[in-house]
Amino acid sequence: MLLVDVIVTILLTSGMFFMCIGAIGLLRFPDFYTRLHATGKCDTLGEGLIIVSLIIYHLFHYPGTPLMAVKLLFLIIFIFIANPTAIHAIVKAAYRRGLKPWRLGERRR
């Protein structure tokens, strides 16, 4: 097995770990704000790791088309800008509409 494939597999697995943690946080946290606190960061980092690993895979296994790797690089830059912005817009809309944050001892909602 090639060394590049080992690096790609490690990066894929770590990215998938962060995405699973984000999904579990979206299920298990008690409040809207805490749920987005979990998912907004974990999803962005997980997708970044997975797409970086695919860039390495592409540069090694498809050496004839390096512009595809540049396209993936544009995708990761766009996701790193757009995903926290979208989460911030949702949280700000909820805050302006008067959704109260969760306090310790209250019921889950």
Give contact residues for another protein (rule: CB under 8 A).
5, 8-9, 12-13, 16, 19-20, 22-24, 26-27, 32, 35-36, 39, 43, 46-47, 50-51, 54, 57-58, 62, 65, 68, 71-72, 74-75, 78-79, 82-83, 85-87, 89-90, 92-94, 96-97, 99, 109
Shortest distance in whole angstroms from residue 54 CB to another protein: 6
DSSP H/E element including 89: helix 67-96
User: Residue 72: which residues within 8 A CB-CB, separation 6 or more?
Assistant: 51, 54, 55, 58
State the nearest-atom distance from the C-beta of 104 to another protein, in Å.
Answer: 19
| Closest approach of another protein to the CB of residue 48, in Å | 10
| End-to-end Cα separation, the chain, in angstroms | 49
**Cα–Cα distance for residue pair 71/63, rounded to 1 Å:** 14
